[in-house]
A and B are shown apart, each in its own frame.
Chain A
Amino acid sequence: MKTQLLILFVTFFCLLTATGCWDRQELTDIAIESGIGVDLAEDGKYQVTLQLIDPSKLGAGQNGGGKKEKPFIVVTATGKTILDAIHHIQPKLSREAFSGQGRSIVIGEEIARHGLKQIMDEFTRNPDVRLRTDIFVVRGGKAIDVLKSDYPYERVPMYAALKIHQAISVHAGETLRDFYMAATDEGSSPITSSFVLRPMAPTEGETQQGKTAQFAGDAIFNKELKLVGYLNLEESSKRKWIVGGMGRLDVTASIPNHTGSVTFTMMHVKRKIRPIVQGNSVKMNITLIGIGSIRENNTDLDLTDAKNIAIVESALEQEVSKKTLAVVNRVQKEYGTDIFGFSEAIDRKYPYKWKFLMKNWKHTFSEVQVNVSSKMTIRQSGLTGPPMQIPESEIGK
């Protein structure tokens, strides 16, 4: 009995250890992807570019030198599918490409206009790809150029894109997950961030060398997942306000009858969307709420005076309402894609009516009557009433 047990144990131990069926992969056997780029190749194939981290160049304090070298390598190949292209990349790599730490999916403008329907499958089917990966379109450029570009601050340049998002306090609506959610929704259309490759401080005779990827607003897709247009930085912040999830926002407004502008920083940014459906006509009442403080005052107003606060507040409200309405109207007219979450708002309030509206939503969306009102509340204006440099006699009352 004991002998049998021993034999059984030894057999099992050998089975576990000696058969080599291990999934083990040492860190020195994988090439960590920091970003993947997709471009359209000439023959209708896809050109996939990987930015791979070269850990030996990172030099974690061990061999001080080598910091000047780029800590990443860029490899590219074409294929019929994304994975096919990656399989064509693999022969060039001594280590297996590993996408589990990828933070960015870069889409070239050309292929974005061509449509993303064919390429999005790999990113969900591959268990290694994170749903929180950033996805963005290179405005007027190719993905490979962004992946090749260096970024001075970050050890790995692709992480710059992610951190730019965080730094400008824009979180919602850019990850792969949000893209899929909007794409599968009956009403909404997806958007992604867009980046543009440009030198940080443009000077004459600029070269490819100094260019870095910079955030340049949102890229709008239609239901066919084709790129239809862009929102600029300000427009995309207004869109985000309507959609919700905005953390912090600055608004600058000029004050009527007074020269100069005021910058208002909101720490509480909220919004209310009230759809009103009457038959086939849809009305959207959007109320934007912002609470914050005045951070810069270039006018001659004394902001310790409650009367002047009210003037500034109403100026801010007008500015916000006007600009926001303009964004919504432009998208309605030019693109007709619901990127504001209107469909969701209607579905929530009129679940039954939405089922009828849904069928013709693309058409209805362009005709939605949108009202934007806003409520700005200034909590603090600082202890300096009027700007310090203005003589007392010139202070507006």
Chain B
Amino acid sequence: MLRKLRKPRLLGAGKDLEKTLASTALVDTNETLSTDIIKNEQKLREIFSNCFDIVFRPITVHGQTRMLLVYVDGLNDIKQLNQVVLKPTMFEGLPEGLGKLERLGEIVEQQLVAVARTKTVMQLSEVVQSVLTANVAILADGESIALIADIKSWAKRAVEEPASEPVVRGPRDGFTETLRTNTSMLRLKVKSPRFKMEAIVVGNVSQTDIVIAYIDGIANESVLEEVRQRVNRIQIDGIIESGYVEEFIEDAPFSPFPTVQNTERPDVVAASLLEGKVAVLIDGTPFALVVPFTFWAALQSAEDYYERFIYATFIRWVRFLLLNMALFLPSLYVAVTTFHPQMIPTNLLLSFAAAREQSPFPAMVEALIMELMFEGLREAGVRLPKAVGSAVSIVGALVIGQAAVQAGIVSAPMVIVVATTGIASFGIPRYNFGIAYRLLRFPMLILAGMFGLFGVTAGALALLIHLVSLRSFGIPYLSPLAPQNRQGIKDIMVRMPRWALHSRPELIVGEDTTRVPKGQKPGPNRGGGT
């Protein structure tokens, strides 16, 4: 039955693909520019027909040489265009001694176009491509080449504090939607020629720039090669967000656990690069991808490394506790009260029993209702316009929290359990990892409701087996705990002081493994000075 359903869908997909290929093939990639500017203009106008935002600006230099500027309106710095291109060519004229027309481009490039980046192209498709990627194409009569000037400038969002990963202590800048801004922020943090950024264009229609960033020598060569391959393999019409790329390059698409980290913090990316990880930056989104991603990285927040290590260690333990609470608390409550009331301290059981006396639903159904309501509240809170959001939280707190208990529909301990679980699930620093745990508590709840602690144990074991078998770009998901690695353990449940974290994560890093040379523990007799 499934197969029958699937066939027509496949056919449809095939047709779509053909269409997209046809649309991109409008420009013959081999066609070169003609020396006749009128011909060139005609061709370009044909290609850009019905493109409202493309500007064709013909100018005449010294009343004899016709030139043509082609650009996308709004993506270039018009002021700069006027100053460095139009004014010198139209009013000040070309310098004396201009002989052959063939050299026009060269002269314009060298003397007139005082902008940061220029290049010459010969093919029509390249001109089109350049114009679409926010460059100004300058064509001249009698030239079979076009000059491409890069004076990109468009409305950008300012660098702001990342909304999804705020910290108390630490850098406050976050990535923006502009790839160039993002790469510049990274370069400011890692000023080394070993810091490489390889650019790839992905997306048949969208032509999105993707940058693979790594530090040469520190990054693991095999991981890097894997990232290159996986990104290059992507065949897609367009990329709007990093999630598009993530779904193509992740290791376990059907696992609830993410195997690719995303962050909008440049400091997190820079620190990951220094650990030997590889980052993938995508134009148009403030979220960068970092691979490989491990279970423990999900429990590390940027601030762990900025705050003092004792506190960081404590907060990691709290997080680990919260992680387990987020997964197991509702299911343990259901399992213990409905299957093993022997296990609870008597007075606690009596309180539970007294509170449950009125509730009409079985504990598991009650838990499911409340958990779903909580998820609904959370979703509504995220999705609604800010002005309405507060209304939702009031309704949620009053109706679900209080009225439901007073009306005897839901028991008070269940509200406490669900609320605690909710808070716990937000205690996980990586949002996408927290989602996995939030999802998994539902099957766990059903297991608990059906088989009690036996079910919870079976579920936990299945989960553990799954986690152990997961890999992210060749790195075991639970490393460095499983497989164990002594140096790596210094940065899992505890966060050793910076001067004690001598080497980079062994499985991730490439050749350059030393992070901090030994013997830097602060103290009165540290040698050196006096």
Which A positions have Cβ atoms within 8 angstroms of B?
A: 2-3, 6, 16-17, 22-28, 30, 32, 34, 53, 55-56, 58-60, 62, 98, 100-101, 103, 128, 130, 155-156, 159
Kindly state the separation between the CA atoms of A55 and B352 in the bound complex, as whole angstroms: 9
Q: Smallest CB–CB gap between B401 and chain A, Å?
A: 15
User: What is the 8 Å Cβ interface bit string for chain B, positions 321-357, against chain A (1 contact, 0 not)?
Assistant: 0000000000000000111011000110111111111
Decide if B2 touches A25 in the complex (CB within 8 Å). Answer: no
Given contacts A27-B363, A100-B342, 4 further A-B contacts (CB under 8 A): A3-B2, A55-B350, A55-B354, A55-B356
Take A3-B1, A32-B349 as given contacts and tell me if A60 and B354 are in contact as well, using a CB distance cutoff of 8 Å. yes
Identify the closest chain A residue to B405 (Cβ): A62
Decide if B354 touches A22 in the complex (CB within 8 Å). Answer: no
Decide if A156 touches B363 in the complex (CB within 8 Å). Answer: no
Residues of chain B within 8 A (CB-CB) of A16 are: 450
Q: Smallest CB–CB gap between A71 and chain B, Å?
A: 8
Report 10 cross-chain contacts, Cβ distance below 8 Å, ordered by A residue: A2-B2, A27-B363, A28-B353, A28-B359, A32-B353, A34-B346, A60-B412, A100-B341, A101-B341, A130-B342
Decide if A27 touches B356 in the complex (CB within 8 Å). Answer: yes
Kindly state the separation between the CA atoms of A359 and B439 in the bound complex, as whole angstroms: 67
Q: Smallest CB–CB gap between B413 and chain A, Å?
A: 9
Decide if A60 touches B342 in the complex (CB within 8 Å). Answer: no
Take A6-B2, A100-B342, A101-B341 as given contacts and tell me if A27 and B449 are in contact as well, using a CB distance cutoff of 8 Å. no
Residues of chain B within 8 A (CB-CB) of A23 are: 339, 452
Kindly state the separation between the CA atoms of A231 and B382 in the bound complex, as whole angstroms: 71
Q: Which of A34, A56, A62 has the most CB of B within 10 A?
A: A62
Q: Smallest CB–CB gap between A9 and chain B, Å?
A: 13
Decide if A32 touches B450 in the complex (CB within 8 Å). Answer: no
Kindly state the separation between the CA atoms of A155 and B338 in the bound complex, as whole angstroms: 23
Identify the closest chain B residue to A59 (Cβ): B354
* Residue in A27, A60, A62, A101 whose beta carbon sits within 8 Å of that of B337 in the complex: A27
Residues of chain B within 8 A (CB-CB) of A159 are: 346
Q: Smallest CB–CB gap between B323 and chain A, Å?
A: 27
* Residue in A2, A59, A62, A128 whose beta carbon sits within 8 Å of that of B342 in the complex: A128
Decide if A155 touches B347 in the complex (CB within 8 Å). Answer: yes
Q: Smallest CB–CB gap between A56 and chain B, Å?
A: 5
Q: Judge if B358 is at the interface, Cβ distance under 8 Å.
A: yes
Identify the closest chain B residue to A155 (Cβ): B350
Q: Which 6 A-B pairs have the closest CB atoms?
A: A100-B342, A55-B353, A60-B354, A58-B354, A55-B354, A56-B357
Q: Judge if B3 is at the interface, Cβ distance under 8 Å.
A: yes
* Residue in A17, A62, A98 whose beta carbon sits within 8 Å of that of B354 in the complex: A62
Take A26-B362, A101-B349 as given contacts and tell me if A56 and B339 are in contact as well, using a CB distance cutoff of 8 Å. no
Decide if B450 touches A62 in the complex (CB within 8 Å). Answer: no
Q: How many residues of B contact A (CB 8 A)?
A: 28
Identify the closest chain A residue to B454 (Cβ): A23
Residues of chain A within 8 A (CB-CB) of B350 are: 32, 53, 55, 58, 60, 155-156
Q: Smallest CB–CB gap between A91 and chain B, Å?
A: 22
Which B positions have Cβ atoms within 8 angstroms of A?
A: 1-3, 337-339, 341-342, 346-347, 349-359, 362-364, 412, 449-450, 452
Decide if B339 touches A98 in the complex (CB within 8 Å). Answer: no
Q: Smallest CB–CB gap between B356 and chain A, Å?
A: 5
Residues of chain A within 8 A (CB-CB) of B1 are: 3
Q: Smallest CB–CB gap between A230 and chain B, Å?
A: 29
Kindly state the separation between the CA atoms of A53 and B346 in the bound complex, as whole angstroms: 11
* Residue in A3, A28, A98 whose beta carbon sits within 8 Å of that of B356 in the complex: A28
* Residue in B346, B353, B450 whose beta carbon sits within 8 Å of that of A17 in the complex: B450
Kindly state the separation between the CA atoms of A26 and B339 in the bound complex, as whole angstroms: 8
Decide if B450 touches A53 in the complex (CB within 8 Å). Answer: no
Kindly state the separation between the CA atoms of A22 and B449 in the bound complex, as whole angstroms: 9
Q: Smallest CB–CB gap between A24 and chain B, Å?
A: 5
Q: Smallest CB–CB gap between A351 and chain B, Å?
A: 39
Q: Smallest CB–CB gap between A131 and chain B, Å?
A: 12
Decide if B341 touches A32 in the complex (CB within 8 Å). Answer: yes
Identify the closest chain A residue to B448 (Cβ): A24
Take A2-B3, A101-B341, A156-B350 as given contacts and tell me if A24 and B449 are in contact as well, using a CB distance cutoff of 8 Å. yes
Kindly state the separation between the CA atoms of A25 and B358 in the bound complex, as whole angstroms: 16
Kindly state the separation between the CA atoms of A349 and B270 in the bound complex, as whole angstroms: 71
Decide if A30 touches B341 in the complex (CB within 8 Å). Answer: yes
Identify the closest chain B residue to A23 (Cβ): B339
Residues of chain B within 8 A (CB-CB) of A3 are: 1-3
Residues of chain A within 8 A (CB-CB) of B353 are: 27-28, 32, 53, 55, 58
Kindly state the separation between the CA atoms of A61 and B346 in the bound complex, as whole angstroms: 17
Q: Which of B350, B363, B412, B449 has the most CB of A within 10 A?
A: B350
Decide if B2 touches A24 in the complex (CB within 8 Å). Answer: no
Q: Smallest CB–CB gap between B8 and chain A, Å?
A: 17
Identify the closest chain B residue to A6 (Cβ): B2
Residues of chain A within 8 A (CB-CB) of B355 are: 60, 62
Residues of chain A within 8 A (CB-CB) of B342 are: 100-101, 128, 130
Residues of chain A within 8 A (CB-CB) of B449 are: 24
Identify the closest chain B residue to A60 (Cβ): B354
Decide if B450 touches A22 in the complex (CB within 8 Å). Answer: yes
Take A23-B452, A24-B339, A27-B363 as given contacts and tell me if A56 and B346 are in contact as well, using a CB distance cutoff of 8 Å. no
Kindly state the separation between the CA atoms of A2 and B2 in the bound complex, as whole angstroms: 7
Residues of chain A within 8 A (CB-CB) of B363 are: 26-27
Kindly state the separation between the CA atoms of A332 and B346 in the bound complex, as whole angstroms: 40
Q: Which of B349, B353, B363, B449 has the most CB of A within 10 A?
A: B353
Residues of chain B within 8 A (CB-CB) of A130 are: 342
Take A2-B2, A53-B350, A62-B412 as given contacts and tell me if A26 and B357 are in contact as well, using a CB distance cutoff of 8 Å. no
Take A60-B354, A62-B354, A101-B346 as given contacts and tell me if A27 and B338 are in contact as well, using a CB distance cutoff of 8 Å. yes
Q: Smallest CB–CB gap between B327 and chain A, Å?
A: 21
Decide if B346 touches A103 in the complex (CB within 8 Å). Answer: yes
Q: Smallest CB–CB gap between A177 and chain B, Å?
A: 16
Q: Smallest CB–CB gap between A60 and chain B, Å?
A: 4
Residues of chain B within 8 A (CB-CB) of A6 are: 2
Q: Smallest CB–CB gap between A128 and chain B, Å?
A: 6
* Residue in B338, B358, B450 whose beta carbon sits within 8 Å of that of A26 in the complex: B338
Decide if B354 touches A56 in the complex (CB within 8 Å). Answer: yes
Kindly state the separation between the CA atoms of A171 and B347 in the bound complex, as whole angstroms: 20
Kindly state the separation between the CA atoms of A40 and B337 in the bound complex, as whole angstroms: 35
Identify the closest chain A residue to B344 (Cβ): A101
Residues of chain B within 8 A (CB-CB) of A59 are: 354
Kindly state the separation between the CA atoms of A80 and B198 in the bound complex, as whole angstroms: 86
Kindly state the separation between the CA atoms of A55 and B357 in the bound complex, as whole angstroms: 7
Q: Which of B3, B342, B349, B452 has the most CB of A within 10 A?
A: B342
Decide if B347 touches A24 in the complex (CB within 8 Å). Answer: no
* Residue in B341, B346, B412 whose beta carbon sits within 8 Å of that of A27 in the complex: B341
Kindly state the separation between the CA atoms of A371 and B249 in the bound complex, as whole angstroms: 84
Q: Smallest CB–CB gap between A4 and chain B, Å?
A: 10
Decide if B354 touches A24 in the complex (CB within 8 Å). Answer: no
Identify the closest chain A residue to B452 (Cβ): A23
Identify the closest chain A residue to B364 (Cβ): A24
Q: Smallest CB–CB gap between B481 and chain A, Å?
A: 33
